[in-house]
């Protein structure tokens, strides 16, 4: 999952980036509102964490612009403790949730998980596809009830394919979801992870089909 973090407090931004990366999210950070609006046009973010007090363009303006241009990713706003009006305005402008500063990391992470679960998994905690079952909270994958041992990258790819099971996913979409500005994933790296993932699914009746030149498709085979 790729997240954009718009926060001008460098200490907070660096800390959040490190902690959320540790939890397996791909994080890009911007420190002003203009860059935030530019960034959402450049990459397909799964979620936006938006501080309201940003230089150049404040967070509410960013929100208005982002929603106005049709981006519908979940947005969590970061607000001041006394910022009731801002919270109400933010929610009215299309934010999905808010966290009041100062906050504890587990609270923010729980809200991120909840929004991503709603947006990507229709609020389901357990997603079953053929012999595979995926826990959207713990991100554990079981095959026939047994844990499937996957690398972080293999897991991320399977997660994307499961989200869109039955629909095609292009390699470019996978690259964009798994990259950050600091670490652009190579197309070759996707091929390697895809190859390993296929091998691990070999004994199941779930298959990753390649549509040459188009992308991949998760399918159940008889």
| Residue of 144, 202, 183, 203 lying closest to 156 (CA atoms) | 183
State which residue, 77 or 190, has the beta carbon closest to Ca ion: 77
Q: Which residue's CB atom is positioned nearest to Ca ion?
A: 53
State which residue, 28 or 51, has the beta carbon closest to Ca ion: 51
Radius of gyration of the chain (CA): 18
C-alpha separations of 166 from 104, 114, 220 in Å: 38, 24, 9
DSSP state of 204: S
Among 31, 53, 71, 113, binds Ca ion (CB under 5 A): 53
| Residue of 167, 168, 208, 166 lying closest to 191 (CA atoms) | 208
| Choices 10-18, 50-58, 86-94, 153-161 (CB under 5 A): range interacting with Ca ion | 50-58
For residue 7, the minimal CB distance to Ca ion (Å) is 6
DSSP state of 36: H
| Choices 43-51, 88-96, 109-117, 152-160 (CB under 5 A): range interacting with Ca ion | 43-51
| Choices 49-57, 100-108, 189-197, 214-222 (CB under 5 A): range interacting with Ca ion | 49-57
| Choices 36-44, 47-55, 152-160, 195-203 (CB under 5 A): range interacting with Ca ion | 47-55
State which residue, 34 or 168, has the beta carbon closest to Ca ion: 34
Torsion of CA 123, 172, 77, 162, to 10 degrees: 10
51 binds Ca ion (CB under 5 A): yes
* Distinct helix (H) and strand (E) counts, the chain: 8, 11
For residue 53, the minimal CB distance to Ca ion (Å) is 4
Q: Which residues bind Ca ion (CB under 5 A)?
A: 8, 51, 53
């Amino acid at each position: 999952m790729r997240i954009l973090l718009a926060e001008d407090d460098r200490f907070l931004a660096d800390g959040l980036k490190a902690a959320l990366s540790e939890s397996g999210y791909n994080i890009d950070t911007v420190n002003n509102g203009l860059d935030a609006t530019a960034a959402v046009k450049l990459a397909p973010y799964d979620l936006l964490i938006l501080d309201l007090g940003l230089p150049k363009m404040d967070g509410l303006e960013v929100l208005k612009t982002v929603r106005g241009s049709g981006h519908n990713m979940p947005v969590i706003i970061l607000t001041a403790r006394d910022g009731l009006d801002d919270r109400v305005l933010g929610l009215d402008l299309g934010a999905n949730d808010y966290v009041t500063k100062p906050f504890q990391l587990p609270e923010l992470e729980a809200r991120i998980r909840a929004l991503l679960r709603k947006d990507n998994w229709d609020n389901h905690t357990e997603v079953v596809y053929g012999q595979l079952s995926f826990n959207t909270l713990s991100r554990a994958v079981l095959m026939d009830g047994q844990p499937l041992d996957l690398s972080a990258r293999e897991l991320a790819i399977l997660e994307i394919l499961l989200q869109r099971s039955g629909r095609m996913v292009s390699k470019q979409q996978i690259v964009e979801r798994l990259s950050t500005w600091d670490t652009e994933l190579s197309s070759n790296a996707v091929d390697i992870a895809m190859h390993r993932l296929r091998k691990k699914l070999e004994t199941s009746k779930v298959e990753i089909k390649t549509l040459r030149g188009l992308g991949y498709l998760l399918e159940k085979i008889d």
